[in-house]
Structure 1
Amino acid sequence: MTVTMVSVSDTAGGAEAHTVALGQGMRQRGHDVLLYGRCPGWEEHGLGRREIALGPKWSRRTMASGILRVPLERRRTQEIADSSIYYMQFKREQIALTAPLSRRAPVIWTEHGRWMGGAAGRLLLAGYARAAEHVSRVVCVSEAVADDLAPVVGRDKLVVVPNAIDTRCYAAPPAATRTALRERLLPSRFHDRRVAIIAARLHGAKRHDRAIAAALASGSALVVVGDGPDRERLERLSGDSADVHFTGHRDDVPDLLASADFYIYCGAETDGTPTCVLEAAAGGLPIVAFEGDPGTELVPRCGGLVIADPAELTAERAAALLDVGGSGVAYVEQRHGRETWLDAYEQIFGECLR
């Protein structure tokens, strides 16, 4: 089977990591995998790629000009080689390219998050519904995502496959290992502190300010891993506090998680199944999350606490969290392991070829 992915993104995020993991997994299972476009991390794993002249990934800022380019970008599908399956995950590729490619092979989409609101969401929905007439399957990362799409796609095309992680990369470390990691990775002022961590793209929609407020309310140090457009504002918000440390983008997230005591999750309204929660739980960390955020149903299963306001994370409650560390490891291994996830995608691809 040949799986051809069409995806253009220059930002390292959860969807891009999902694409790389799926490409790696399908190749390891003996399938041919090729990407048309760009995806951070793709070539670093030795996966094949070809360029295709598509414009920037759609956003509220680029959508109007992107819609005007649709006829041109549809013609550019002629540059894409024949394949067993075509796979897409971003709205521009889904809306613009599904119809012409579906005449050559089944097209599969993955939906990573809840449907966006506002005028942009309504504008996209009409085009999405038309494109969905030509898609074979839409893989949703949660039941909530599937519920959003059912009115415009139809339940017969929807299948839920929760996000997964490579649990081999995460482990609850012995105390001596955590101490060594702190000494190597964290500021010296954090070495003897209770340390919270958050690892996510720094975007206003994620509302990282809640994590900063909760950590400070609990008397914990906070490590903020990641980069993005909201970094400058967040650094101003934290002021000169010695209790908040920004690392920027890092490739050693498993080690940074292992150096911490608990994880604070702040989700955007459109998030699906948050892989950051799965990674933290697989590393033995208890989780703190906020009421109303997508994915918080995972938190009780992974060991943790859901709060309504940052001030609710008192020093006493933060200290009590440390007693439940490690309780989410088995759950993540059983329900969100990489091999089960790959089995599901391989089955979906195979069914669409019959």
Structure 2
Amino acid sequence: MIITMVSVSDTAGGAEAHTVALGRGLRDRGHDVTLYGRCPGWEERGLDRADIRLGPKWSRRTMAVGLLRVPVERHRTNAIADSSVYYLQFKREQIALTAPLARRAPVVWTEHGRWMGGPVGRLLLAGYARAAEHVSRVVCVSEAVAADLEPVVGRDKLVVVPNAIDTRRYAAPPPAMRAVLRQRLLPSRFHDRPVAVLAARLHGAKRHDRAVAAALASESALVVVGDGPDRERLERLAAGNVYVHFTGHRDDVPDLLAASDFYVYCGAETDGTPTCVLEAAAGGLPIVAFRGDPGTELIPYCGGLVLGEPTELTADAVSAMLERRGTGVAYVEQRHGRDRWLDAYERTFGECLR
């Protein structure tokens, strides 16, 4: 198949990692894959890309100007080469570009999260419903995401394909190697405490302050991996506490997970299946999560805890949880492995060509 992805993003997040993994996996299976646009990590994996001169990804800040650009951006789809399937995953591309592309080949979307609320959500939903008339399939990362879309898209177009990870990359190392990683990657003051870790884009909607509070309540150290607009606030909240360490963006996340004892997950209400939870569980870490966040249905399979409030995480609770280290490894390998995920996407694209 010739699979053409149209996606513009300059932010390295979960959706972008999904795009790169899908493009690389499909290419390795012999398909011709090209990206029109930009995606962090794409060219670093040796994948083909062409520029289409689309504006920035839609957000509350860029929405007004973005809507004015729609006629021009639709015209620019003429520069996109013919394809077996066109693949879109962000709202701007889905709403603005699906109709012209669908006249040339089937269009497939992926939906990564729950539908947003408020005036912006209602505005997008109207355009999304019109664009969905032209889409062939919508891949949803969870049943909850599919339930949000069913009244708008129709169940016959929805396919649920849970997120996946390369479990080999996150496999827990032998004890001796783990000890080396702890010595090399963690501050020396952390060596006599349980170490919690979170690795995510630091955005206020995810309320990562709960992770800071839970770690301190349990007398654990916390490694905060990642960057984003909420980092400054979180650093102020930590108030220079020596047991909270901010690393910024890192390329060695699997090693940092391996050096830690448990993971703290905080999700925004629009999140779908959190890949950070899958990555941590694949490395054997128990997961601490918070009641009401998306993705908490995964936690019982990972030997973790779902809390109502951060202060519920006590030192005794952490000690008991660490006895269940490794519980989630088999579950992630069986349900969220990369091969099964690629099989599902290949099958979905193939069904659109019949």
Normalised by the length of structure 1, the TM-score is: 0.99
Return the letter of the residue paired with 1:223.
V
Equivalence for 2:259: 259
1:192 to partner: Cα distance: 2.5
Per-residue deviation, 1:176 = 2.2
Q: What is the identity percentage for the equivalent residue pairs of Structure 1 and Structure 2? A: 82
* Alpha carbons 1:206, 1:267 under 8 Å: kept: yes
8 Å contact from structure 1 (residues 106, 353) kept in 2: yes
Deviation at 1:64, TM superposition (A): 1.3
Report Cα offsets for 1:20-69 as digits up to 9, x if no partner.
00000100000000000000000000000001111110011111111111
The unaligned stretches of length 5 or more in structure 2 are: none
Q: Return the alpha-carbon distance in structure 1 between the equivalents of residues 51 and 230 of structure 2.
A: 30
Partner of 2:213: 213
- The residue that corresponds to 2:307 in the other structure is 307
Q: Displacement of 1:191 after TM fit?
A: 2.1
Q: Which residue of 1 aligns with 2:222?
A: 222
1:2 Cα offset (Å):
0.4
Q: Quote how far apart the aligned CAs of 1:292 are.
A: 0.1
CA distance in 2, matches of 1:43, 1:190: 37
Question: Which residue is 2:93 aligned to?
Answer: 93
Superposed, which structure 2 residues align to 1:1-354 within 5 Å? 1-354=1-354
Alpha-carbon RMSD across the aligned residues, in angstroms, is 0.6
Matched letter for residue 93 of structure 2: E
Q: Contact conserved, 2:3 with 2:85, CA < 8 A, in 1? A: yes
Task: Give structure 1 stretches of 5+ with no counterpart.
Answer: none
DSSP 3-state at the match of 2:323? helix
> In 1, distance between residues paired with 2:326 and 2:222?
20
Q: Which moved more, 1:60-69 or 1:320-329?
A: 60-69
Which whole-Å deviations, capped at 9, do the CAs of 1:295-326 have from their partners, x for residues lacking one? 00000012100000000001110111100000
Q: Which moved more, 1:85-94 or 1:177-186?
A: 177-186
Q: Which amino acid is the alignment partner of residue 326 of structure 2?
A: G
Q: CA separation in 2, counterparts of 1:163 and 1:252?
A: 21
SS where residue 293 of structure 1 aligns?
A: coil
Please give the alpha-carbon distance, in whole angstroms, between the structure 1 residues aligned to 2:282 and 2:171.
Answer: 6
- Contact 1:223-1:244 within 8 A present in 2 as well: yes
SS in 2 for 1:33: strand
Q: Secondary structure at the match of 1:241?
A: coil
Counterparts of 2:216 and 2:188 in 1: how far apart (Å)? 18
Render the CA deviation track for 1:226-272: whole Å, top value 9, x for unaligned. 00011111001101100100000011100000000000000000000
Cα shift at 1:100: 0.1
Contact conserved, 2:193 with 2:219, CA < 8 A, in 1? no
Other structure's SS at 1:164 match:
coil
1:3/1:34 contact within 8 Å kept: yes
- Give the match's secondary structure for 2:165: coil
Work out the CA distance in 1 between the residues paired with 2:132 and 2:200: 30
Q: Distance in 2 between matches of 1:78 and 1:175?
A: 55
Tell me by how many angstroms 1:173 deviates: 2.7
TM-score computed with the length of structure 2 as normaliser: 0.99
Contact 1:179 1:191 in 2 (8 A): no
Runs of 4+ in 1 over 6 A off after TM superposition: none
Between 1:107-116 and 1:188-197, the stretch displaced more is 188-197
Cα distance in 2 for partners of 1:103, 1:68 equals 23
What is the SS of the residue equivalent to 1:172?
A: coil
Task: Tell me, in whole angstroms, the C-alpha distance in 2 between the residues paired with 1:45 and 1:204.
Answer: 30
CA distance in 2, matches of 1:315, 1:343: 43
- For 1:82 and 1:175, the matched residues in 2 are separated by 51
CA contact (8 A) 1:262 1:288 kept: yes
**For 1:107 and 1:187, how far apart are their aligned partners in 2?**
49
Q: Following the alignment from structure 1 to structure 2, what is the Cα–Cα distance between the partners of residues 210 and 349?
A: 40
CA distance in 1 between counterparts of 2:239 and 2:31 reads: 51
Q: 1:175 Cα deviation (Å)?
A: 2.8
Report how far residue 183 of structure 1 moved.
1.1
How much has 1:170 moved relative to structure 2? 1.2
Q: Offset at 1:182? A: 1.2
Helix, strand or coil for the counterpart of 1:324? Answer: coil
Say whether the 8 Å CA contact 1:10–1:39 is kept in structure 2. yes
Indicate conservation of the 8 Å contact 1:113/1:145, yes or no. Answer: yes
